Chains A and B, each alone.
Chain A
Amino acid sequence: MSALLEVEGLNVWFDLAGGGELHAVRGVDVQVDAGERFGLVGESGCGKTTAMLTIMGLLPPNASVAGEVRLAGENILARGEESVSPHRWNDVAMVFQGAMNAFNPVKTVGSQIEEPLRLHGIAEGRAARRQVAELLERVGIPSDRAARYPHEFSGGMRQRAAIAMAIACGPKILLADEPTTALDVMVQAQILELLLSLAEDFELALVLVTHDLPVVAQVCDRAAVMYAGEVAEAGSIDALFHTPRHPYTRMLFAATPDLHAGGERVVSIPGAPPRLDRPLVGCPFHPRCDSRFEPCPTVTPLLKVVGEGHVAACHLNDHVREGALV
Chain B
Amino acid sequence: MSTNGSAPLLQVEGLVARYPVSRGVVGALRREPKLRVHAVDGVSFSLRRGEMLALVGESGCGKTSTAQSVLRLIDIDGGSIQFDGTELSGLSPRALRPLRRRMQIVYQDPYESLDPRFRVGATIEEPLQVHGVGSRSERSDEVRRALELAGLTPPELYVDRYPHELSGGQRQRVAIAASLVLHPDLLVADEPVSMLDVSVRAGILAILDELRDNGLAVLMITHDLSTAAHYADRIAVMYLGRIVEEGPAHEVVENPQHPYTRALLSVVPKRDPRERSTPQILRGETPNSIHIPVGCRFHPRCPLAIEECKAVDPELRRPAAATDPAHRAACIRV
A253 to B201: give the CA distance in the assembly, Å: 12
Say if the beta carbon of B274 comes within 8 Å of chain A: yes
User: Does A268 interact with chain B (Cβ within 8 Å)?
Assistant: yes
Query: Which size class do B's interface residues fall under?
Result: 35 or more
Q: Which of B206, B223, B272, B285 is in CB contact (< 8 Å) with A268?
A: B206
Q: Given A257-B230, A259-B226, do A268 and B253 touch, yes or no (CB 8 Å)?
A: no
Residue-by-residue, is B255-280 near A (CB-CB < 8 Å gives 1, otherwise 0)?
00000000111011111111010010
Which residue of chain A lies nearest to B206 when distances are taken between CB atoms in the complex? A268
Q: Which of A21-29, A187-195, A296-304, A309-317 contacts B (4 or more CB under 8 A)?
A: A187-195
A269 to B167, CA, bound (A): 13
> A188 vs B271: C-alpha distance in the bound complex, in angstroms?
16
The answer to whether B203 has its CB under 8 Å from any CB of chain A is yes
Q: Which of B169, B224, B254, B271 contacts A217 (CB 8 A)?
A: B271
A288 to B120, CA, bound (A): 25
Find A184's partner among B59, B199, B231, B263 (CB 8 Å cutoff).
B59
B200 touches A269 (CB 8 A): yes
Residues facing A in B193-207 (CB within 8 A) are 197-206
Q: Is there an interface contact between B202 and A214, defined as CB atoms closer than 8 Å?
A: no
B274 and A253 contacting across the interface, CB-CB below 8 Å: no
B199 to A257, Cβ gap below 8 A? no
Partner of B199, one of A217, A242, A268: A268
B273 touches A218 (CB 8 A): yes
Q: Does chain B have a CB within 8 A of A123?
A: no
Check if A260 sits within 8 Å of B254, measured CB to CB. Answer: yes
Residue contact A154 to B253, C-beta cutoff 8 Å: no
- Per the bound structure, the CA–CA distance linking A250 and B334 in Å amounts to 40
Please state if B279 and A258 are interface contacts (CB–CB under 8 Å): no
**Given A189-B279, A262-B229, A262-B250, A237 and B264 contact (CB-CB distance below 8 Å):** no
Would you call the interface of chain B mostly helix, strand, loop, or mixed?
helix
- Taking a contact as CB atoms under 8 Å apart, the answer to whether A186 and B263 are in contact is yes
Residues of chain A contacted by B254 (CB below 8 angstroms): 260
Complex contact B281–A266 (CB within 8 A): no
Are B281 and A190 closer than 8 Å at their CB atoms?
Answer: yes
Q: In the assembly, what is the distance between CA of A130 and CA of B267, in Å?
A: 34
**A211 and B281 contact, CB distance less than 8 A:** no
Interface assignment of A127: CB less than 8 Å from any CB of chain B: no
- A266 and B208 CA atoms in complex are apart in Å by 13
* Closest chain B CB from A7 CB (angstroms): 23
Give bound CA distance, A268 to B151, whole Å. Answer: 13
Distance in Å: Cβ of B141 to nearest Cβ of chain A: 27
What number of A-B contacts does a CB cutoff of 8 Å give? Answer: 120
For A257-288 the 0/1 string (1 means CB < 8 A from B) is 11111100011111010000000000000000
**Shortest CB–CB separation between residue A116 and chain B, in angstroms?**
27
Known: A154-B285, A214-B271. A255 touches B202 (CB 8 A): yes
With beta carbons under 8 angstroms apart, the residue of B59, B206, B227, B269 that contacts A218 is B269
Give the Cβ gap from B318 to chain A, nearest Cβ, in Å.
Answer: 22
Q: Does A82 contact B (CB under 8 A)?
A: no
B263, closest chain A residue (CB): A186
Task: Check if A99 is an interface residue, CB within 8 A of chain B.
Answer: no
Residue of A nearest to B254 (CB): A260
Instruction: Determine whether the beta carbon of A211 is less than 8 Å from that of B198.
Output: yes
Is B225 part of the binding interface, using a Cβ–Cβ cutoff of 8 Å? yes
Q: Which of B231, B267, B272, B285 contacts A189 (CB 8 A)?
A: B267
Say whether B249 faces chain A, with CB atoms less than 8 Å apart.
yes
- In the complex, whether A43 has a CB less than 8 A from a CB of chain B is yes
Q: Which residues of A contact B169 (CB under 8 A)?
A: 272
Task: Output the least CB separation between A134 and chain B (Å).
Answer: 21
Minimal Cβ-Cβ distance residue in B for A266: B202
Partner of A213, one of B204, B264, B271, B276: B271
Contacts of A256 in B (CB 8 A): 198, 226, 271
In the bound complex, residues from chain A placing their C-beta under 8 Å from that of B197 are 43-44, 211
- Partner of A241 from the list B58, B224, B271 (CB cut-off 8 Å) is B271
Given the complex, which residues of B lie within 8 Å of A266, measured CB to CB?
A: 202, 205, 230
Enumerate B236-251 residues with CB–CB distance to A below 8 Å. Answer: 249-250
Q: Is A252 an interface residue (CB 8 A)?
A: yes
CB-contact partner of B276 in A184, A185, A218, under 8 A: A218
Chain A residues near B281 (CB, 8 Å)?
Answer: 186, 189-190, 193
Contact B270–A258 (Cβ < 8 Å): yes
Residues of A near B282 (CB, < 8 A) are: 186
Instruction: Encode contact with B along A55-97: 1 for CB under 8 Å, 0 otherwise.
Output: 0000000000000000000000000000000000000000000
A261 and B275 CA atoms in complex are apart in Å by 12
Tell me if B199 and A185 are in contact (CB < 8 A): no
Assess A258 versus B273: contact at CB under 8 Å? Given A186-B263, A186-B281, A193-B281.
no
Question: In the assembled complex, which residues on chain B have CB atoms less than 8 Å from the CB atom of A213?
Answer: 198, 271
CB nearest to A238 among chain B residues: B273
**How far, in whole Å, are A184 and B239 apart by their CA atoms in the complex?**
13
Within 8 A of A (CB), among B277-295: 279, 281-282, 285
Q: Is the CB of A215 within 8 A of B58?
A: no
**Inside 8 A of B263's CB, which chain A residues have their CB?**
186
Ordered by A's residue number, 14 sampled pairs between the chains whose C-beta atoms are within 8 Å are: A43-B198, A154-B285, A184-B223, A185-B224, A189-B279, A217-B270, A237-B273, A238-B273, A241-B271, A257-B202, A257-B229, A262-B230, A267-B202, A268-B199
- By a beta-carbon cutoff of 8 Å, the part of chain B in contact with chain A is 58-59, 167, 169, 197-206, 223-227, 229-231, 249-250, 253-254, 263-265, 267-274, 276, 279, 281-282, 285
Top 5 A-B residue pairs of the complex, sorted by shortest distance between their CB atoms: A268-B203, A214-B269, A268-B202, A189-B267, A269-B199
